[in-house]
Amino acid sequence: MLCGEFPPRLLREEVYAAAALAGAAAYLGLHGAGVPDTADTAVSAALVFTLRLAVVFRDLHLPRLQRLPG
């Protein structure tokens, strides 16, 4: 499924950055709210995993900035 693509879908920078940012925000929010360490780690890891799966299977991507002419 991922053969023949460069860069592979799992390694696109936008996927890593957005999923990592969401996971970090979830972890910090849950940790700050006093959720136990195991739970906040598991929830944030599950969020990152789910986001990456959604990107791969639904072919989602972040909008790209385009330069204005001139």
pTM above 0.95, yes or no: no
Per the CB < 8 A criterion, the answer to whether 26 and 18 are in contact is no
**Single-letter amino acid, residue 62:** L
pLDDT at 26: 97
What does the pLDDT read at residue 54?
87
Residues of the chain with pLDDT under 70: 1-14, 64-65, 68, 70
Residue 35: predicted pLDDT: 95
From CA 61, how far away is CA 70, in angstroms rounded? 27
